[in-house]
């Protein structure tokens, strides 16, 4: 079972992220669960391009010439930056909700409107 | 009772997701003609040593342009939410 | 909301080294792992260090909002300008017209593993600098707006 360790880590991170989003009551913890789920997807993208016995695809002082695939690494860079943009907007929403309602418990926010 | 039901649902989800590591070949990627072209021709066409940077900025530079615009839009959104309304009113609909 | 004296002294000593390391990662993006986005995030960490160690009223004179807004816009305009300059010379949009020629960054690269040379890789170092400036301005603006929106409430 140890030759596939990155893929088992992806499954563990996905289940932990989904459980945090569904079961927790604090708003900041729900946003942390969203970040954990995005980390799981990025790890899955990178581990799809692994070639056995390969080095990083850079020619500066390279010790060998068999390289891993470089295209999934380029796509993961874009995905990480989009995750940063999403987290920034979500945390701004949390600050505005705290200023308006006084608490960030999702059971109390629903009932204060009426 | 509710906690046992929740734990059972998440265990079924984890067991269903575990078919991905078992049936996926880890060390041999499936079809890689495009990456073989990038590794062999990247040093003479883009004149770099770093193949990943030449893919991000030269072969697929359009995706990097879209990503810069997404980052710019996020900064505009954050700046829009913390503005101060003039005229003494707190919220727009009251 | 000032931090203690140890935190302030540590931030005073550390931020030049973090800025120099971030600029090194941006400039050598075509030789070693790194590039525009990674180096811009490292330099924004230096700005975040100074913002966290001092309170917002002291920092608002040093890291000003107008300078960071201008920096972000100049970075994006430089990135698009590097693409339009390829249209003027002749060729499609975003064409690497400086590689393998004799101009600014245009020395050819010998094939196979080699120690790298800074003079290579065409229009890619210019795009690295543009994206680094944009990410630095963007992340610092997000931090400043969030901190000012939080401290205006008072509690």
CA dihedral A66, A72, A78, A80 (to 10 degrees): -90
Q: What percent of chain C has pLDDT over 70?
A: 97
Q: How many domains does chain B have?
A: 1
CA nearest to C83 within chain B:
B61
Regarding pTM above 0.95, the answer is: no
pLDDT tens by residue, C30-74: 999 998 999 999 999 999 999 888 888 888 888 888 999 999 999
Identify whether B57 is part of a domain.
yes
Q: How confident is the model at residue C139 (pLDDT cuts 50, 70, 90)?
A: very high
The answer to whether position B68 is within a domain reads yes
Phi then psi for residue C114, to 5 deg, are -155, 155
Q: Is B15 within a domain?
A: no
Flag whether pLDDT at A59 surpasses 50.
yes
Q: Give the three-state DSSP class for C29.
A: coil
What's the rounded mean pLDDT across residues C105-117?
A: 83
Mean pLDDT along residues B74-93: 75
Contact B25/C at CB under 8 A: no
Look at residue A114 and tell me if it is in a domain. no
Mean pLDDT value of segment B72-90: 80
Which pLDDT score, from 0 to 100, does residue B89 have? 56
Q: Check CB contact under 8 Å for A77 and C31.
A: no
Q: Do A99 and C114 touch (CB under 8 A)?
A: no
Categorize the per-residue pLDDT at A112 as very low, low, confident or very high, splitting at 50, 70 and 90.
low
Helices A5-23 and B2-17: angle between axes, nearest 10 degrees: 150
Q: List the chains bordering chain B where 3 or more Cβ pairs fall under 8 Å.
A: A, C
Segments forming the whole domain that contains residue A60: 2-109
Quick check: ipTM above 0.85?
yes
Partners of A45 on chain B (C-beta within 8 Å) are none
Question: Over chain B, what HEC string results?
Answer: CHHHHHHHHHHHHHHHHCHHHHHCCCCCCCCCHHHHHHHHHHHHHCCCCEHHHHHHHHHCHHHHHHHHHHHHHHHHHHHHHCCCCCCCCCCCCC
- Mean pLDDT, residues B7-34: 88
Residue C118 pLDDT grade (very low, low, confident, very high; cuts 50, 70, 90):
confident
Q: Per-residue pLDDT averaged across C77-84, rounded?
A: 93
| A7 within a domain of the structure (yes/no) | yes
For residues C62 and C140, is the Cβ–Cβ distance under 8 A? no
Residues of the domain holding B61:
49-82
* Subunit contact A60:C32, Cβ cutoff 8 A: yes
What pLDDT, on the 0 to 100 scale, is given for residue C147?
Answer: 87
Quote the CA–CA distance of C30 and B58 in Å, as a whole number.
Answer: 11
Highest mean pLDDT of the ranges B34-38, B78-82, C17-21, C90-94: C17-21
Instruction: Using CA coordinates, name the residue in chain B closest to C126.
Output: B57
Looking at the domain assignment, is residue A92 inside a domain?
yes
Q: What is the pLDDT of residue C115?
A: 84
What pLDDT is recorded for position B86? 62
Do the domain assignments include residue B54?
yes
In this predicted structure, the answer to whether residue B94 has a pLDDT above a threshold of 70 is no
């Amino acid at each position: 079972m140890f030759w596939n360790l990155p893929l088992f880590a992806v499954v563990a991170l996905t289940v932990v992220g989904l459980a945090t989003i569904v079961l927790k009551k604090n708003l900041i913890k729900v946003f942390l669960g969203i970040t954990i789920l995005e980390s799981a997807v990025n790890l899955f993208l990178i581990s799809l391009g692994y070639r056995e016995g390969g080095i990083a695809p850079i020619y500066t002082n390279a010790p060998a010439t068999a390289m891993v695939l470089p295209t999934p690494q380029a796509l993961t860079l874009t995905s990480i930056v989009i995750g940063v943009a999403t987290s920034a907007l979500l945390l701004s929403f949390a600050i505005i909700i705290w200023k308006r309602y006084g608490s960030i418990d999702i059971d109390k926010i629903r009932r204060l409107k009426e | 009772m509710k906690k046992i039901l929740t734990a059972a649902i998440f265990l079924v989800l984890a067991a269903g997701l575990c078919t991905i590591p078992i049936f996926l070949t880890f060390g041999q990627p499936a079809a890689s003609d495009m990456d073989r072209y990038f590794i062999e021709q990247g040093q003479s066409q883009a004149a770099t040593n770093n193949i990943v940077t030449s893919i991000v900025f030269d072969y697929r530079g359009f995706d990097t342009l879209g990503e810069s615009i997404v980052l710019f839009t996020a900064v505009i959104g954050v700046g829009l939410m913390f503005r101060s309304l003039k005229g003494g009113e707190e919220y727009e609909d009251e | 909301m000032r931090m203690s004296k140890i935190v302030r002294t540590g931030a005073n000593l550390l931020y030049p080294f973090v800025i120099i390391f971030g600029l090194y990662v941006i400039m050598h993006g075509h030789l070693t792992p790194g590039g525009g986005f990674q180096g811009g995030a490292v330099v924004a960490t230096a700005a975040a260090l100074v913002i966290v160690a001092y309170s917002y009223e002291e920092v608002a004179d040093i890291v000003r909002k107008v300078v960071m807004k201008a920096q972000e816009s100049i970075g994006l305009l430089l990135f698009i300008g590097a693409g339009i300059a390829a249209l003027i010379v002749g060729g499609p949009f975003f064409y690497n017209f400086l590689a393998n020629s004799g101009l600014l960054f245009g020395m050819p690269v010998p094939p196979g593993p080699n120690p790298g040379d800074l003079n290579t890789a065409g229009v890619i170092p210019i795009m690295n600098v543009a994206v680094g400036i944009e990410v630095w301005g963007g992340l610092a603006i997000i931090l400043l707006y969030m901190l000012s929106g939080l401290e205006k409430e008072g509690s």
